[in-house]
Chains A and B, each alone.
Chain A
Amino acid sequence: GESVGLHLPTLSVQEGDNSIINCAYSNSASDYFIWYKQESGKGPQFIIDIRSNMDKRQGQRVTVLLNKTVKHLSLQIAATQPGDSAVYFCAELPPYDYKLSFGAGTTVTVRA
């Protein structure tokens, strides 16, 4: 199918540590991937994206890694802060499909 799955439904992280959120995708034709953050009561917020011609992309405190060989995507958050507590979704987009397929989401809780 076209589902995108996250390895862990929950992740607890100590404030200041780095977080790694993993995602496995199933459609080898997908060429665009996005990570979203969703806080309670809000819509998903774009964090970072990566295209299939790249292996790594860095943003502010976040890095996305793409391993096309094993169809794996990860989001690394550096120096995790309380404001990073949210549900994180990865999404994939096959070419010319016009729809994003989302994983189930990982709930990140930051411990003070």
Chain B
Amino acid sequence: KAGVTQTPRYLIKTRGQQVTLSCSPISGHRSVSWYQQTPGQGLQFLFEYFSETQRNKGNFPGRFSGRQFSNSRSEMNVSTLELGDSALYLCASSWGTLLNTEAFFGQGTRLTVV
């Protein structure tokens, strides 16, 4: 059974550009969450989707957005990139409707903004 797949694995962008990251959840999982991981702030919640609906959003500026498709795949977008957006972006999927089942993480996308 394939795990959570995130693409691309690595990305280098210039300040001011925008970026789109992709996450394919485990087959059958309908909840997808996104987290930003940095050495200084740790793992910070970005947003969570279930059946194409955003159910919760973290404290990030509006430059961070996401969506989920009917096949449960999800994308997140960051516009007008800043140096501080450099981070590991992690996606997690779970089966349960309330996320209180095992949440499995992908390998992450390492974004570097220069």
Contact = CB atoms under 8 A, between A and B. Distances in A.
Interface string B50-69: 10000110100000000000
Contacts, number: 62
A88 interface: no
Interface residues of A, number: 26
Interface residues of B, number: 25
A41 B106 CA distance: 11
B45 A32 contact: no
A45 B92 CA distance: 10
A61 interface: no
A63 B42 CA distance: 24
B45 A49 contact: no
Contacts of B35: 100, 102
A60 B107 CA distance: 23
Interface of A: 31-32, 34, 36, 41-46, 49, 51, 89, 91, 93, 95-105
